Structure 1
Amino acid sequence: MAAIDDIIVWVSSLPAWQGDAVRRLLATGDQPLNARGYSEILALAKADLKIAAPQENLKPVLPVAGNFSGVPATTVAVKLLSIDDVRNVNIIKDAQTQPFAESGVTVVYGDNGSGKSGYSRILKLACQARDKDERILPNVFATAPTGTPTAILKIKQDGRPKDIVWTQGAPADPILTNITVFDGRCARVITDDRNEISYLPYGGDVFQKLAEIVLRVKADVEAEITAIAPVQDSAIVVGTTSAKLLESLSDSTKDEVIQAATDWTPQDELQLATLEELARTSDSTKAAQEVARLDKVKGRINDAASAVTALVVACVDLTDEVIHNVIAEVNAAQLAHVFAVAERQTPEVLPGVASTNQWEILYKAAKQYSEEVAYPGESFPKTYDAFCVLCQQPLGEEAVARFGRFKKFIEDVTNTVLIAKRNVLRLLREKIEIVDPLTAAPLESICDELASLDAKVANDLRAYHAAVATRKSVVLALLKEGEDPQKAVLLPPWPASVETALRSVAKTLIQKAADITNAAKPEEYKKLLATVAELKSRKALSARKADICAFIAKVRHNADLRRAADTLRTQEITRQGTTIIRKNLTPELINAFKTELIALGATRVPISLKPSGDVGETAHEILLEGANTLGRARISQILSEGEARVIAIAGFLAELQLVPHANAIVLDDPVSSLDHVFTGKIAARLAREGLRRQVIIFTHNIAFLMELEDASMALAMAGTPVGITVHTLRRGGKSAGITTNGAPWYALKIKQRAQYMEELVHKIKLLYPDNMAEYNEKAARVYGLLREAWESCVEDDLFYNVVCRYRNSVQTLKLIEVAIEDPDIHHVNLHMSKTSTWMTGHDKSKALHYDRPAPDELLADIKALRDFSKQLTDRRVQTKKQRDKQLEP
């Protein structure tokens, strides 16, 4: 298989993804890549072309020698002895063995469902045939869980036995690639290229298929090239720098250019707002009004600053320490006064006398009334010949003494101190009460104006007055006699002055007014509008940055796709294919191919080879000699499937002629759909190949099996015997793949059939007469086989296969040995009638409740068949002698 060796060497010069595609194409034979296979190739191609990121678990794998049937890395002599210990393969019963003869031809015959395909699939996968991607399923009818399909392949390698364990999914032993596998897929690979029959060396079809994949990848890559709508925005003013950038966007536009053009900062936003406002107010019809308005606002802000200054002055001495000390001192004076009263206290009639503020107020009011109204010029209390100024009753001795105590209390020093401290407290409260921060509407009015100029200053002013108001309220609540002075430590602080910030805002208004005056000039106003347009356009451009980046990414991707698509060419594949195919399509191979076509009986389809080529294709096109021009008609539409298949087998055998070894070949259903006229020729050619190498054939075609046996017999008669070993696969219950030596029933000779039936009778005779129901059923089956055997006796012995089922010819030369006598007709009719009576399924058959003949009688009926067959055989010998003598000159 020199061509595929050259292909493996050539692959190393390809991009890795194409090498992986070649490996997959060689593995799939004539089958197209499945969707998953192609998608993986496409992913590898995109990664290699750098138009997509590589997939983590997907790496290209190149084909190597030892991975394909018939293309070993090392050529050694290999013979396949058996497939042993088969497990989890379709419905083949576990632990089955399928043996193969070391030499000659081994035929494994099996009907549908017999397990034949399971054995052949094992060999295809183990020997790495081109359809090795075909998976083996376990027994779907199994009730217990099944494992991975496995088997042991027993071989002889250079004459030494060797066991090779095969497990589906595990790497196959490369030694087994010394075995060459041919099946229907290999046949189509050789013959049906683009549905046009072309002869290529093994693997030569890969060039065209690779070229088709390259073109398919190219089409898919080009299909990703999309039409891209340009980025547009009505807010971007025509003629601005931003507008010009949008118009010039391309795959070569640098990221830093985009970044710089779309950069938009808070300072830019502030500048735009400032200039927009300046432009709005700098109109010649509005400038003077705006300057006047700004002057008015400036005045209000300065007033607010002055008010803050006044509050600061008013509150400068109202520190936490002062408040703490005032409260502490008045509380201390109160406490000292209480102690003083307690020392001289005489129980009075009523509570609170000389100890409460209310009582002190009452006393002072009485004193003032006495000195100014009741007894002017008299010191208080007047006790001699006087009335009580409160109750208007004459003062008795006790009342005089009480007033004396009251006077002494009031005139006490502690009381004087207490009065002084209380005055300090009162004055402090009065000072705080006159603090007048802005609130409600006045405050909000000035803050609203400020907010449009400096939101922070507006908030600070609002917070300042609110903090002053809060402090005032809390301090007034605290400035009471008896309050805890420590609460002064927790007072909210006086806020920082915002006078400076307010004055600063007022200064900006002065500058703003100057700016408006300057901008109102025509030339300056025009420049201002242009600057505003640039800023507004850049802001709009910044808002579309994501769209621009997406647009650039798509443009660049399109450019990458175009560049990648431009590199996807097939000319080099075609050139290399031409070189490799021409190198391997030697005159020896072409002559061998023609020789094989003649041997296979394809002479009625006159053909010739003509070099031809297309995209990725180099082949020797097969032409019909003497035919008119086909035009658009394809040769594969003119040839039958059988004719196409026979050409494929001719190519396979031609290449085998030129390989330097005689290792085993495996053929799976080589004539499953051939025109019947080629069956015998194929059988004869494969039988002859069995003289040179081990030939293993899997078939379900009984006619082909019989042709192989006839071909073997013909070789033996010609003095070149070739061994032919036949195994028949059968089902047993729910399992299959059970191998028996010998041909199937329909291909057995009379002697073999008779022996088989006699063995059946010996197995069932113990049922007689105790179990007649079962005996009748099984004896009826034997009579059915016996009837079929009589039919075969007529075909094989009486007519000597002159006319034979499954064969496509009438062998008239055998008539010289045929002699039919009248008793033969009677004898055949007699036994056919009897077997029809005792079998089941015939219209003359008796029901099973009728007892079948005893075992001895059944054996005698079988012996009658034997005797009649032998009698016919002996008669043929005599008949041939007599007729040969008659034909002598």
Structure 2
Amino acid sequence: MAILDEIVDWTDNKNQFWRMTVDTLIRKNNLDATDLQFLKNICKDEHGLLKFNYIPADFNTLRTFIQNASGTTDISLVGIKDIENISALSHTTELEFAPAGLTLIYGDNGSGKSSYASVLKHVCATRGIRPVIHPNLFYPAAVLADKKANVFFSKAGNVECVSLINTNIDRPDLRAVNIFDTSSANHYVEGEDEIAFIPHGIDLLDKFANALKYIENTLIEEKQKLSLQRFDFSVLQLNQASPSHTFVTGINSNTTREQLTVNSDWDENKEARLLVLDEEIQKLRSTDPQNKARTNTEFMRRLTTLRNYFANLETELFADETLQKIKETVNNYITSSNSLKVSSEAIFSDLPLNGVGSATWKQLWESARKFYNESKQKESFPDPNAHCPLCLQSLDADSKQRFENFEEFVKNDLQKQFDKAKSAYEGELATLNALDFSTDAYEPTILEIESIVQGYRISQQDYISALQTYHQYLIDLFQDEELIEDIELPVIQVNAKSMINALLLKLGEENKVLLTESIADRLTVLETERSNLQDEKKLYTFRPKAYREVLRLKRIKSLDTAIGKCNTRSLTTLSNNLTQTHVTQLLKDAFKNELNALGFRNIRVEAETRGARGKQYHFLKLGENNASNAALKDILSEGEHRCIALATFLAELSLSEHKSAVVFDDPVSSLDHKWRNKIAGRIASEAAVRQVVVLTHDISFLMMIQEHADKQNVPIVVNSLTRNKQETGIILNNPPWDAMSTSKRIGVLKDQQQKMAKLEKSETEEVLRPKIQTLYGRLRETWERFIEEVFLNDTIKRFGREVQTQRLSKVVDLTVEDYNKVEQNMSKCSTYMVGHDSAGELNEEIPSAQEFLDDVVTLEAYVKEIRKRRN
């Protein structure tokens, strides 16, 4: 895998964030939510945003991993067995694959086919999304159990095994086996305006770019939240001309604590000077006619502060964002609590004590852990082979199992979800409880308002009372611990905030008149000095909040730097360079050859290249002269789209250095008959050079592949899957009935006759009648297959696309006796089969199992007679 080696070399001198991303992608092929969070933490750690401990990427071991995963030895699949807790798959069944040629596995919906495919998609290579592997829902305890399977394969003549536990594999060998399905086809056929495919190895750069974009978005979101927490220095009401205001305006991420201390210094001398200035200015203002305007302005500032206090209470209580957050927090807490309760009851239901699994019990468990680990001086709790840390007695088998169950419960994902939801619940409730409805700090302002607006205090009390009532309503929503459908809005009859706004408007209009007179020049110097001192004192009072603002700005700067590390421009350049080096004309030629092999000749398609955000596209466009800007998606049918995806898949395979197995999971869906047949033929021809496994629920497609395999002399094994009430994936070592030949159907009918013969000894005629009717229906279908396959020498086939007239040469031997024999036996089958209403006297007695066997043997002998006659 030269491309992977070059990606590793290119990343080797990059930051740990990028190195760890490449390491994880190469080892896992995809990144889940846990991986993305892990990588984001590394990014934040590198920029001082988080203290995060992790083991740095070791590119030497990564190169070894690539070498082991990219060997050129052919690998073929042997089988899947040792299945545990994967959907409803039988744990005793072994799915085997033919060592060469074509293995067809047919399964109807619900037979377990998709579950087997899911196992293969987790251990083999696929461009598509690896499906979720579900536990066995028939067994409730399976939710907490591991999902396991062993996939056996042949490599260099040796049978080896890859173990799958949940979504993890113990070795990467089967990454050399490729899977084609609907999901991977969508990866090849990508986008709305073009059809794109990404060469193997370069597709990691696409996933790398997507990871960078995701982490970039989460960092931007964190930055946006920090931006909303900006400290509003306007609450200090600083004079815009003062040095303090100038300093505050210039605060940024480079501001130091020392600079803040110098600009917010305060001592006794400054306090004394401020008192002197107050006295001098008061004396001068007593004769100033504009004193009232200044008094009004100061009063308006106090009114604005009180008004903002009320506005903040309303926001914290019934803003849309607040109510939505409360609803989500309470509902998440209740949902996770119920889930945890169900889980804990399942684990601890048979214990002799109540309360096991509760918060008090967990505290006892963690105390026992701490004591045990300190006594052993290592992290080994719980150790089922040691003594109980509480009673110091030896543990029997049940106690050891109970210890393991306890530890599994503590570490369970449901517990983590509950802890997270509970933390959010308690935090949101604490925020509500922390709301302060006291207006004592504003009492002087309230007295001033009361002197102007009669009855204001009572109106304010009613307003505060309404807010407190609604506050209690919200707290009750938390304490009721019930799911919230909707949150009612408060009913406020009198709004004190609106009354203050009206007063502010009135005072503003009054000041427009008062301020027409200028302030005496002799007050300017004194008031400027006093204003500067007052501002310096205010800044001194708010110094802790100001420093928190400095820290916020520094964090935003670090976030900006981290966001810059998520830029994908260099990834796009690397993708372009790798494409120029590795995606040669060979791939384009192979792609065209595959299109020709699939009969894609109606329109001319040309390959082009473009790169964007670390993603390299090799897309196709119409090559017709009058195509203009027409998009392929508007021209091609669904079958043509799938044809192009398959051509891309096979083109890449043709350039690989090995001939390892390939798996096709329902490679066709609702495609038209033309493309289904061409794809069937191409898959059959691929089975001539490598092991091919096809899983399908489409009986006509299965028969098409059988037909092509027979024509091309490709070895083929056809198996089918069935299920019982609680198990799926049960192997039937024969094709589905509709795909069976005459001889195989005869064999099945003989087996069923033996079962019928046993039933005759114990069952009544009412029980036997529908069973023998079903058997005669199957026998009639076998006669019909005989007519196609033997009687008419395959001249016409069901699901066939042609009439092979050259095969009629052997049909001329048929006589009237032959026709009569067929008619006689078909008529008898019709008489007894389900769906034919017979005369009353025929219902008096049904054929015996022996008579049915005689009828089957008649057909078997007749088949031999016809074939012997024509040879």
TM-score (norm 2): 0.64
**1:337-363 CA-partner distances (Å, limit 9, x unpaired):** xxxxxxxxxxxxxxxxxxxxxxxxxxx
Choose which of 114, 118, 121 in structure 1 pairs with 2:115: 118
Superimposed CA distance per residue, residues 708-727 of structure 1 (whole angstroms, 9 cap, x where no aligned partner):
222222123xxxxx321122
In structure 2, which of residues 759, 768, 775 is the aligned counterpart of residue 775 of structure 1?
A: 768
Task: Label 1:641 to 1:44 Cα distance change in 2 as closer, same or farther (>3 A).
Answer: farther
- The partner residue of 2:750 within 758, 762, 771 is 758
Counterparts in 2 of 1:129 and 1:235: CA distance versus 1, 3 Å: closer
Tell me if structure 2 keeps the 8 A contact 1:607–1:622: yes
Aligned to 1:679: 676
**Kindly tell me: are residues 143 and 199 of structure 1, through their superposed partners in 2, closer, same or farther at Cα, counting changes over 3 Å?**
closer
* Letter aligned with residue 242 of structure 2: T
Matches within 5 A, 1:592-671: 592-626=590-624, 628-631=626-629, 633-671=630-668
In 2, Cα distance between equivalents of 1:672 and 1:58? 46
Q: Which residue of 2 aligns with 1:793?
A: 786
Partners of 1:121 and 1:811 lie apart in 2 by 40
Within 5 A, what are the aligned runs for 1:494-533? 530-533=528-531
- Whether 1:148 and 2:146 are equivalent positions in the alignment is yes
User: Residues of 2 paired with 1:263 and 1:811: CA distance?
Assistant: 104
Counterparts of 1:597 and 1:71, CA distance in 2? 33
More off after superposition, 706-715 vs 547-556: 547-556
Distance 1:281 1:606 in 2: 93
Structural mapping, 1:680-695, within 5 Å: 680-695=677-692
Structure 1 residues 769 and 208: CA distance shift in structure 2, 3 A: closer
Output the amino acid matched with 1:771.
E
Q: Which moved more, 1:561-570 or 1:246-255?
A: 561-570
Partner of 1:271: 272
After superposition, where does 1:30-41 map in structure 2 within 5 Å? none
Give the deviation of 1:855 after TM superposition.
1.3
Partner of 2:721: 729
When residues 674 and 759 of structure 1 are mapped into structure 2, their CA distance, relative to the original with a 3 A threshold, is same
Q: CA deviation at 1:730?
A: 1.2
Counterpart contact for 2:68–2:173, Cα < 8 Å? no
From the superposition, tell whether residues 780 and 54 of structure 1 become closer, same or farther in structure 2 (CA, over 3 Å): farther
Superposed, 1:170-181 pairs within 5 Å as 170-181=168-179
Q: How does 1:42-441 map to 2 (within 5 A)?
A: 45-48=43-46, 52-53=49-50, 64=62, 72-131=69-128, 133-142=130-139, 145=142, 147-193=145-191, 196-208=194-206, 210-211=208-209, 214-215=212-213, 217-218=215-216, 221=219, 224-225=223-224, 226=227, 231-233=233-235, 235-264=237-266, 267=268, 270-271=271-272, 274-275=275-276, 278-279=279-280
SS at 1:96's partner residue?
coil
2:843 aligned with 1:862, yes or no?
Answer: no
Q: CA–CA distance in 1 between the matches of 2:779 and 2:729?
A: 26
Moved more, 846-855 or 779-788: 846-855
How many pairs were matched up?
631
Shift of 1:93: 1.1
Shift in alpha-carbon separation, 1:46–1:100, aligned structure 2, 3 A = same
Separation in structure 1 between the aligned mates of residue 10 and residue 805 of structure 2, nearest angstrom: 56
- Between 1:676-685 and 1:70-79, the stretch displaced more is 70-79
- State the SS of the aligned residue for 2:711: helix
Structure 2: which amino acid aligns with 1:139?
Answer: N
Task: Report the Cα distance in structure 2 between the residues aligned to 1:552 and 1:760, rounded to whole angstroms.
Answer: 85
Q: 1:9 to 1:670 in 2, by over 3 A?
A: farther
User: Which amino acid counterpart does residue 642 of structure 1 have in structure 2?
Assistant: G
Q: 1:35 to 1:150 in 2, by over 3 A?
A: closer
1:775 Cα deviation from its structure 2 partner? 2.6
Shift in Å at residue 756 of structure 1?
0.7
TM superposition shift of 1:665: 2.4
Q: Say which is worse superposed, 19-28 or 543-552, in terms of deviation.
A: 19-28
The answer to which of 151-160 and 267-276 deviates more is: 267-276
CA separation of 1:130 and 1:27: change in aligned 2, threshold 3 A: farther
Counterpart amino acid of residue 271 in structure 1: A
Cα distance change on mapping 1:216 and 1:118 into 2, 3 Å: closer
C-alpha change, 1:617 and 1:280, in structure 2 (3 Å) is closer
* C-alpha displacement of 1:852: 2.5
Give the superposition deviation at 1:217.
5.0
The Cα shift of 1:799 comes to: 4.7
Amino acid in structure 2 at the alignment position of 1:113: G
> Structure 2 CA distance, aligned partners of 1:745 and 1:174?
38
The AA in structure 2 aligned to 1:573 is L
**Whole-angstrom distance in 2 between the partners of 1:818 and 1:54:** 85
Alpha carbons of structure 1 residues 847 and 791: separation in structure 2 relative to 1, 3 Å:
farther
C-alpha distance in structure 1 between counterparts of 2:572 and 2:282, whole Å: 76
Q: Call closer, same or farther: CA 1:230–1:742 in 2, change over 3 Å.
A: same
State which of 741, 748, 751 in structure 1 corresponds to 2:740.
748
In structure 1, the partner of 2:846 is: 852
Verify the 8 A CA contact 1:127 1:172 in the aligned structure 2.
no
CA distance in 1, matches of 2:634, 2:653: 28
Equivalent position SS for 2:234: coil
Displacement after TM superposition at 1:741 (Å): 1.6
- What displacement does 1:108 show? 1.8
Give the C-alpha shift of residue 9 in structure 1.
Answer: 4.5
Amino acid at match of 1:788: E
Q: Report the alpha carbon displacement of residue 115 of structure 1 after superposing the two structures with TM.
A: 1.5
Deviates more, 1:104-113 or 1:848-857: 848-857
Distance 1:188 1:65 in 2: 30
**Conserved 8 A contact 1:126-1:172:** no
Cα distance change on mapping 1:131 and 1:112 into 2, 3 Å: same
Structure 2 residue 804 is the aligned partner of structure 1 residue 806: no
Matched residues in 2 for 1:181 and 1:537: separation?
72
User: Identical aligned pairs, as a percentage?
Assistant: 27
Partners of 2:236 and 2:624 lie apart in 1 by 74
- Identify the residue that residue 437 of structure 1 maps to in structure 2: none
Q: For structure 2, which runs of at least 5 residues remain unmatched after alignment? A: 288-519
1:796 alignment partner AA: E
Aligned equivalents of 1:847, 1:197: Cα separation in 2: 68
Once the 2 structures are TM-superposed, how far is the Cα of residue 131 of structure 1 from its aligned partner? 4.8
Judging changes above 3 Å, is the alpha-carbon distance between structure 1 residues 27 and 120 closer, same or farther for their aligned structure 2 residues? farther
Amino acid at match of 1:855: A
Give deviations 1:452-499, integer Å, cap 9, x for gaps.
Answer: xxxxxxxxxxxxxxxxxxxxxxxxxxxxxxxxxxxxxxxxxxxxxxxx
| Alpha-carbon separation, structure 2, partners of 1:675 and 1:278 | 98
Which protein is bigger by CA-based radius of gyration? 1
Q: 1:750 offset after TM fit, Å?
A: 1.0
- Contact 1:107/1:698 (CA < 8 Å) preserved in 2? yes
Q: Which amino acid aligns with 1:767?
A: L
SS at match of 2:164: strand
Report the residue type matching 1:651 in the other structure: T
Whether the 8 Å contact between 1:192 and 1:636 is mirrored in structure 2 is no
Q: Hey, what's the Cα distance between the residues in 2 that align with 1:107 and 1:779?
A: 31
Q: Distance in 1 between matches of 2:621 and 2:94?
A: 46
Give distance in 1, aligned partners of 2:829 and 2:62. Answer: 62
How far is 1:113 from its partner? 1.4
Of 508, 518, 534, the match for 2:532? 534
> What CA distance in whole angstroms lies between the structure 1 residues aligned with 2:186 and 2:839?
49
Change beyond 3 A, Cα 1:175–1:548? same
SS in 2 for 1:236: coil
Q: Which runs of 5+ in 1 are unaligned?
A: 287-521, 717-721, 879-889
Q: Is the 8 A contact 1:837 1:845 kept in 2?
A: no
- Structure 1 vs Structure 2 CA RMSD: 4.1
Give, in whole Å, the separation in 2 of the partners of 1:860 and 1:268.
124
Measured after TM superposition, the shift of residue 755 of structure 1 is 1.4
CA 1:654/1:233 → structure 2, altered by over 3 Å: closer, same or farther? Answer: closer
